[in-house]
C-alpha cells in the first residue's frame, strides 16, 4: 500500500470532487427562484429539493432535536446507491446497498453547520415571504454512497458539539469522515481527523486513511501522513542499525533481543537494506575491536604499572565484547547470503592479525582475557567455512589473502597452548581443515607456499591429522600429473 502524498492536496471545496455530486434545487411554480448553489462542487450525490406552497420562514426552536417531526422544517430522504467515493470497504457498508430510502426530520437552523446544506438552501431560506410555520417544510432527496447509518450519525452530530460518544473507534471515524467531507461538515471532519491521529490503525484502516488524505487540507493530513511516510529516505536503515545497537548494548536479555533482531532481518522485504546495515555495523564494530587491540598491544608505560594493567584489561575486555558482536553480525550476514564484503574486509587485515598474534603470545594477555583469540577466530572460521562451502563466492585473491593472513594466527595459538583450552580444540581443528579446503582451490604455486606453513598442524601421531595428510597427498597427486595437452588450433 503506497501512502498518499501531499502533492495531491486540494481545498475542501475541491475535496467535494471526490463524491460525484451535483446539487440542484427545484421548487413549485409559485416559489421565487432560489439562489444558485454553484459554490458547492461536491461530487458523490445528486440532491434534489422540492417544497410545498411557499410559506414564511419560521423561527427555529430554541433547542431543536434530531429527527423531531413535530418541529422539523426539512425532511431529508436518504437514497442508498453505489458511488465512486468510498474510503475503502468498511465492515458495515453492506447494509447501505439496495435498501429502502430513510427519511430524516431536520431543522434549517441546524443544517447551517454544514456548508453543503447552507449553500444549497440559503437562497430558498432567505427569499421566502412570511407565512405559516406549519407550511414551511422542505423535502429533499440525497442519494448516499456509504452506510446509511453513517449518514444518519453525521446528520445527528449537527445537533451537538460533543462528538466523543459517536466517534469511538478508528473504523467509525473512517465511516463518518468521507460523509463529513461530502457535506462539508468541518467540525465533524476535524473531530474524525483528531481521533485518527491519536489511535492505532489496522492495516485495512491504514489503507482507508491513505485513500482519504488527498481530500483533506494540508494541515489536517500532515499528522496522518507522517505516521506512514518517513521524512528520511534512509529511515529503514537507521531503524535497523539502531535496533542492532540497542540489542548489543542491553545489559540483560541480550540473547532474546538479538534473536528478535535476527528475525526482523530475516523477514525484511528489502534485502539490500539489510545488507547495507549489516555491512555498516560490521565495519564499525571491527574498527572498535582493532583499535582496542592496538591500544592493548601498544600501552603507555609512562603510567603506573597497576594502572597500565587495568587499562590493558579494559581494552581486551572491550575487544572481546565487540568481537562477540562481530561474530553475531558475521552469522547474520552468512545466513542472509550478504557476507561478500565482510569476507573481503576480513582478508585484508595484516595489522590486525599481527596485533592478535602479539596478544596471543603475551602471558598477561592470556591471563587477563584468555578467551579473546577464540572469539575472533570463530569469526574467521565462519567466513572461511562459508567460502569453502560456496555460500560466499570469493575471488582467488580473497581466498589466498584470508589463509595467508590468518594462518599464522592459528599457528601461534596452537604453539602457545590456546588451542587446547576448553572448546577451542575443536575450533582450531575446524580452522585447519577449512583452510586446507580453501588451499585446494588455489593455483598449485600458491597452494605449495601455504601448505608448507601448515606443517605445524601435525601432531605426534599422523592419525590425529588426516586432513593434513589428505591435503599433501592431493597436492602431490596433482603435481605428478602429466601436463595437459595444448588445445589444437
C-alpha pair distances (Å), 346 with each of 361, 399, 406: 21, 11, 9
User: Residue 37 pLDDT more than 50?
Assistant: no
User: Residue 5 pLDDT more than 60?
Assistant: no
Confidence (pLDDT) at 312: 82
User: Residue 135 pLDDT more than 80?
Assistant: no
Confidence (pLDDT) at 365: 64
Measured in whole angstroms, the distance separating CA 262 from the mean position of its chain's CA atoms is 15
User: Residue 30 pLDDT more than 50?
Assistant: no
Q: In what order do the strands lie in the sheet with 102-106?
A: 23-25, 47-51, 138-144, 74-80, 102-106
pLDDT interval class at 122 (50, 70, 90): confident
User: Residue 399 pLDDT more than 50?
Assistant: yes
Range 279-288 average pLDDT? 97
SS3 73: coil
Residue matched to cell numbers 540473547: 255
User: Residue 455 pLDDT more than 70?
Assistant: yes
What is the C-alpha to C-alpha distance for residues 346 and 378, in angstroms, rounded to an integer?
12
**Which among 380, 372, 312, 310 has a CA at the least distance from the CA of 345?**
380
Confidence (pLDDT) at 301: 55
Cβ-proximal residues to 103 (8 Å cutoff; 6+ apart), any chain: 75, 76, 77, 78
Fold of 6-228: Potassium Channel Kv1.1; Chain A (3.30.710)
Q: Crossing angle of helices 305-335/372-389, nearest 10°?
A: 20
User: Residue 462 pLDDT more than 70?
Assistant: no
Q: Which DSSP category does 421 fall into?
A: S
User: Residue 305 pLDDT more than 80?
Assistant: no
Confidence (pLDDT) at 56: 46
Cβ-proximal residues to 56 (8 Å cutoff; 6+ apart), any chain: 128, 129, 130, 131, 132, 133, 136
pLDDT interval class at 309 (50, 70, 90): confident
Q: Which regions of the chain carry the CATH code 3.30.710.10?
A: 6-228
β-strands 74-80, 138-144: how paired?
parallel
Residue 45 φ then ψ, to 5°: -155, 145
Instruction: For 226-270, write each residue's pLDDT tens digit.
Output: 888 877 667 899 999 999 999 999 877 788 999 999 999 999 989
pLDDT interval class at 488 (50, 70, 90): low
Confidence (pLDDT) at 29: 28
Cell numbers at 76, concatenated: 431529508
Return the bridge partners of 49, or none: 25, 140
Instruction: For 44-62, write each residue's pLDDT tens digit.
Output: 344 444 444 344 444 544 6
pLDDT interval class at 483 (50, 70, 90): low
% of the chain with per-residue pLDDT over 90 = 51
Instruction: For 407-433, write each residue's pLDDT tens digit.
Output: 999 998 888 777 666 667 789 889 999
pLDDT interval class at 288 (50, 70, 90): very high
Confidence (pLDDT) at 252: 78
Instruction: For 438-447, write each residue's pLDDT tens digit.
Output: 999 999 999 9
- Cβ atoms of 393 and 340 closer than 8 Å: yes
Confidence (pLDDT) at 279: 97
Instruction: For 334-369, write each residue's pLDDT tens digit.
Output: 999 999 999 999 999 999 999 999 888 877 666 667
pLDDT interval class at 87 (50, 70, 90): very low
Average pLDDT, the chain: 80
More confident residue, 43 or 64: 64
Confidence (pLDDT) at 307: 76
User: Residue 132 pLDDT more than 50?
Assistant: no
pLDDT interval class at 303 (50, 70, 90): low
SS3 217: coil
More confident residue, 354 or 24: 354
What is the C-alpha to C-alpha distance for residues 458 and 2, in angstroms, rounded to an integer?
62
Q: What is the dihedral of CA 60, 62, 68, 73, to 10 degrees?
A: 0
Confidence (pLDDT) at 125: 55
Confidence (pLDDT) at 313: 84
With b meaning 16 or more CB within 10 Å and e meaning fewer, what string describes 92-102?
ebeebeeeeeb
**Which among 463, 485, 446 has a CA at the least distance from the CA of 475?**
446
Instruction: For 185-222, write each residue's pLDDT tens digit.
Output: 999 999 999 999 999 999 999 999 999 999 999 999 99
- Cβ atoms of 365 and 372 closer than 8 Å: yes
Amino acid at each position: 500500500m503506497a501512502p498518499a502524498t501531499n502533492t495531491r492536496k486540494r481545498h475542501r471545496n475541491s475535496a467535494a470532487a471526490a463524491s460525484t455530486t451535483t446539487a440542484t434545487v427545484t421548487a413549485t411554480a409559485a416559489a421565487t427562484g432560489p439562489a444558485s448553489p454553484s459554490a458547492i462542487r461536491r461530487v458523490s450525490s445528486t440532491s434534489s429539493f422540492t417544497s410545498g406552497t411557499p410559506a414564511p420562514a419560521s423561527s427555529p426552536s430554541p433547542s431543536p432535536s434530531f429527527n423531531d417531526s413535530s418541529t422539523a422544517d426539512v425532511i431529508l430522504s436518504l437514497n442508498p446507491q453505489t458511488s465512486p467515493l468510498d474510503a475503502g470497504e468498511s465492515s458495515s457498508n453492506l447494509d447501505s446497498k439496495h435498501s429502502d430510502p430513510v427519511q430524516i426530520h431536520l431543522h434549517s437552523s441546524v443544517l447551517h453547520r454544514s456548508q453543503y446544506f447552507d449553500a444549497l438552501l440559503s437562497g430558498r431560506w432567505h427569499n421566502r415571504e412570511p407565512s405559516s410555520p406549519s407550511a414551511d417544510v422542505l423535502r429533499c432527496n440525497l442519494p448516499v454512497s456509504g452506510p446509511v447509518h453513517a449518514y444518519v450519525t453525521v446528520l445527528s452530530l449537527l445537533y451537538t458539539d460533543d462528538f466523543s460518544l459517536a466517534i469511538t473507534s478508528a473504523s467509525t471515524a473512517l465511516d463518518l469522515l468521507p460523509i463529513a467531507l461530502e457535506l462539508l461538515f468541518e467540525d465533524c471532519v476535524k473531530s474524525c481527523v483528531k481521533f485518527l491521529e491519536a489511535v492505532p490503525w489496522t492495516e485495512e484502516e491504514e489503507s482507508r486513511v491513505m485513500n482519504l488524505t488527498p481530500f483533506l487540507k494540508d494541515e489536517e493530513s500532515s499528522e496522518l501522513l507522517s505516521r506512514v511516510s518517513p521524512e528520511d529516505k534512509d529511515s529503514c536503515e537507521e531503524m535497523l542499525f539502531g535496533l542492532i545497537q540497542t540489542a548489543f548494548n542491553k545489559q540483560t536479555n541480550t540473547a532474546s533481543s538479538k534473536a528478535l533482531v535476527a528475525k526482523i532481518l530475516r523477514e525484511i522485504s528489502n534485502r539490500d537494506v539489510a545488507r547495507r546495515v549489516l555491512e555498516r555495523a560490521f565495519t564499525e564494530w571491527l574498527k572498535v575491536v582493532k583499535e582496542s587491540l592496538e591500544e592493548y598491544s601498544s600501552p603507555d608505560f609512562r603510567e603506573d604499572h597497576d594502572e597500565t594493567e587495568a587499562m590493558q584489561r579494559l581494552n581486551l575486555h572491550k575487544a572481546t565484547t565487540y568481537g562477540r558482536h562481530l561474530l553475531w553480525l558475521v552469522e547474520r550476514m552468512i545466513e542472509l547470503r550478504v557476507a561478500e564484503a565482510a569476507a573481503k574486509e576480513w582478508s585484508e587485515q595484516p595489522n590486525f592479525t599481527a596485533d592478535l598474534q602479539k596478544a596471543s603470545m603475551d602471558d598477561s594477555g592470556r591471563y587477563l582475557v584468555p578467551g579473546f583469540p577464540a572469539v575472533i577466530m570463530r569469526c574467521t572460521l565462519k567466513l572461511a567455512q562459508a567460502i569453502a562451502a560456496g555460500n560466499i563466492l570469493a575471488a582467488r585473491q580473497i581466498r589466498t589473502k584470508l589463509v595467508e593472513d590468518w594462518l599464522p594466527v592459528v599457528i601461534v595459538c596452537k604453539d602457545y597452548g590456546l588451542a587446547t583450552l576448553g572448546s577451542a580444540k575443536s575450533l582450531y581443528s575446524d580452522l585447519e581443515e577449512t583452510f586446507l579446503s580453501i588451499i585446494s582451490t588455489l593455483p598449485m604455486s600458491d597452494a605449495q607456499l601455504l601448505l608448507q606453513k601448515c606443517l605445524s598442524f601435525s601432531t605426534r601421531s599422523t592419525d590425529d591429522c588426516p586432513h593434513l595428510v589428505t591435503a599433501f597427498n592431493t597436492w602431490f597427486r596433482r603435481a605428478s600429473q602429466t601436463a595437459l595437452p595444448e588445445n589444437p588450433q
